[in-house]
Amino acid sequence: MGAAAFLVQNTSVSVEDPVVPRPDFVPDWVRAWMVDLAGALFVVVLAWLVSRLAVRVFSRPIAQYFSRQSLSRVALGGIRGVIYLFALLTVLRIYGLDLSSIALSVTVFTAVLGVVLAPIVGSFISGVFLLADQPYEIGDMIELPDRDTRGYVDDITLRYTKIFTLDNTFLVIPNGEMRSRDVVNYSAEDSRVRRTLEVLVTYESDIGKARQRMAESARAVEGVVTGGPTIRVGAARYPAGPECLVGSFADSGVLLRLRYWVSEPYRLETVQSKVQTRVWDAFEGDAIEIAYPHSQVVFGENSGELQVSAGESGADLSGSEGRPHGPTDGDSTGPPADPERTDGGDTT
């Protein structure tokens, strides 16, 4: 209450001493508050027109100066913000609010407002770092592994990043969260993406023919890079065309690893599905068999006995630790057993 009273006390203006003089052409019946309102509306409209004109004039030079679209948008937003700030100060001046008189009162509320505005200020600072670090740009295709979501960067501001997902939805994520999570950029430097397909074939299969069939299957799919100059990734260079390598000798077969490059990252799952379908069709009719795990159960001397009986109801396997279970109530079809016969012979 004391700070609020101080603010009102220091920002009050006497009616006899108007800050903005009354124009001579205004009739006497027009009240002072009407004049102030008309002046404020005029300043707001003028600021809106000036901001649109400034954006139209400076948009092309700024776009030529900044190679990144996000920086151009931020710069144009800063120009609009400066114009609207001057308009706000002018409106405050029209209503007699002096900045020097309210500076101390604003300082009193800084601590309270700082707690409330801390997340917003953090997002702004993160936005500055994002624009400086350039992890992604407007139009890039990125992936958020923790959300299993991919999409295009639609807009980058100082406060948030807007992503247009492949599911035709929008994601608006604060920049503070974007800086603290993993982001995969598929189109930062080179839009080509390498995919890997692993297939386990049996030892009896023709390994050379299997490798050839897998490479040919990838080349036949639209969207797969079939050849050309080597693709550079850092200091290494990789063949542009599909290649099939022997990965390892596993327990159930030989692991073949097919590597191929997709020209665009926008249809990765579709291209990968087509490659897998062609590989499956290519193995049909040849001496190539996809391996799968086999299990062999061995009964030793200490494994006990397993009783197997076949009846009208099908096979019956029973036993626990090598001993068969007796029939349950209602399951027996023969005559009841004699309680005195314990060894299968006559009693004596």
243 and 208 share one domain: yes
67 and 8 share one domain: yes
175 and 198 share one domain: no
Which position has the token pair 């001046």? 93
Domain end among 244, 263, 283: 283
Residue 308 lies in a domain: no
DSSP reduced 3-state for 13: coil
259 and 178 share one domain: no
Which position has the token pair 């197997």? 308
219 and 162 share one domain: no
176 and 224 share one domain: no
Prediction pTM value: 0.53
For residue 249, give its domain range: 193-283
Q: What CATH number is given to the structural domain containing 263? A: 3.30.70.100
Residue 346 lies in a domain: no
List the structure tokens of 16.
Answer: 């006899």
- In 10 A of CB 247, how many CB atoms? 15
Residue 252 lies in a domain: yes
Amino acid at 63: A
Q: Largest Cα–Cα distance of the chain, in whole Å?
A: 141
Question: Rounded to an integer, what distance in angstroms lies between the CA atom of residue 94 and that of residue 47?
Answer: 15
Nearest to 268 by CA among 183, 188, 192: 192
Residue 272 lies in a domain: yes
> What pLDDT was estimated at residue 15?
42
82 and 167 share one domain: no
The DSSP code for 184 is: E
241 and 209 share one domain: yes
Along the 348 residues of the chain, how does pLDDT read in single tens digits? 444 444 444 444 444 455 556 666 666 676 777 777 887 888 889 888 888 888 888 888 777 777 667 667 777 778 888 888 888 888 877 777 666 655 555 665 666 666 666 677 777 777 777 777 778 888 888 889 888 888 999 888 878 889 998 888 989 988 888 888 888 888 777 788 889 999 999 998 989 999 999 999 999 999 999 888 888 877 788 888 899 999 999 888 999 999 999 988 888 889 999 999 999 999 887 778 888 877 777 766 766 666 667 665 555 544 444 444 544 444 444 445 444 444 444 443
Domain end among 91, 108, 125: 108
Question: Rounded to an integer, what distance in angstroms lies between the CA atom of residue 68 and that of residue 75?
Answer: 11
Give the relative orientation of helices 110-133 and 99-108 as an angle to the nearest 10 degrees.
Answer: 90
Domain end among 244, 265, 283: 283
Residue 292 lies in a domain: no
List the structure tokens of 71.
Answer: 């920086």
Residue 149 lies in a domain: yes
152 and 58 share one domain: no
* Contact (Cβ atoms closer than 8 angstroms) between residue 88 and residue 30: no
Nearest to 213 by CA among 141, 290, 280: 280
In terms of DSSP H, where are the helices of the chain? 2-11, 32-65, 69-94, 99-108, 110-133, 175-179, 207-219, 268-283
Residue 305 lies in a domain: no
The number of domains in the chain is: 3
Residue 32 lies in a domain: yes
User: For the CA atoms of the chain, what is the radius of gyration?
Assistant: 39
Question: Rounded to an integer, what distance in angstroms lies between the CA atom of residue 38 and that of residue 22?
Answer: 12
7 and 80 share one domain: yes
Question: Rounded to an integer, what distance in angstroms lies between the CA atom of residue 20 and that of residue 32?
Answer: 10
Question: Rounded to an integer, what distance in angstroms lies between the CA atom of residue 284 and that of residue 217?
Answer: 13
DSSP notation for 159-183: SEEEEEETTS-EEEEEHHHHHTS--
> What pLDDT was estimated at residue 211?
92
Element (H, E) at 18: none
21 and 79 share one domain: yes
163 and 204 share one domain: no
Q: What CATH number is given to the structural domain containing 141? A: 2.30.30.60
Return the C-alpha torsion angle 113, 116, 120, 124, nearest 10: 40
